Amino acid sequence: MQHTTIAILGGGNLGTAIAHGLHSTGDYQPENIMVTRRKMHDVEELTQKGMRVLTNNQQAVATADIIILCVQPKQLFGLLQDVKGALSVGKHLLVSTITGVSIGEIEAIVGQDLPIVRAMPNTAIAIRESMTCIATKNASEAQMKRVESIFNVMGRTLRIEEELVAAATVLGASGIAFCLRYIRALAQGGIQMGFHAEEAQAIAVQTCRGAATLILEGGRHPEMEIDKVTTPQGCTIAGLNEMEHNGLSSAVIKGIMTSYQRIANIQK
- What's at 128, amino acid-wise? R
Please give the Cα distance from 178 to 175 (Å, whole number). Answer: 5
Q: Which of 70, 93, 75, 260 is nearest to 165 (CA)?
A: 260
Please give the Cα distance from 97 to 69 (Å, whole number). Answer: 6
Residue 71: CB minimum distance to ligand NAP, A: 4
Please give the Cα distance from 188 to 197 (Å, whole number). Answer: 8
Structural contact between residues 159 and 134, judged by C-beta atoms closer than 8 angstroms:
yes
Residue 143: CB minimum distance to ligand NAP, A: 20
Which residue lies nearer to ligand NAP by CB, 115 or 121? 121
Residue 57: CB minimum distance to ligand NAP, A: 5
Residues of this chain that interact with ligand NAP (CB under 6 A) are 9-15, 36-39, 57, 70-73, 75, 78-79, 82, 97-99, 120-123, 173
Q: Which of 119, 116, 167, 108 is nearest to 139 (CA)?
A: 116
Residue 75: CB minimum distance to ligand NAP, A: 4
Which residue lies nearer to ligand NAP by CB, 9 or 19? 9
Start-to-end CA distance of the chain, whole Å, equals 37
DSSP 28: B
Which residue lies nearer to ligand NAP by CB, 154 or 200? 154
Which residue lies nearer to ligand NAP by CB, 53 or 187? 53
Among all residues, whose Cβ is closest to ligand NAP?
12
Residue 39: CB minimum distance to ligand NAP, A: 4
Please give the Cα distance from 25 to 28 (Å, whole number). Answer: 7
Please give the Cα distance from 94 to 146 (Å, whole number). Answer: 12
Which residue lies nearer to ligand NAP by CB, 122 or 136? 122
Residue 244: CB minimum distance to ligand NAP, A: 29
Structural contact between residues 185 and 201, judged by C-beta atoms closer than 8 angstroms:
no
Which residue lies nearer to ligand NAP by CB, 85 or 189? 85
Please give the Cα distance from 15 to 40 (Å, whole number). Answer: 14
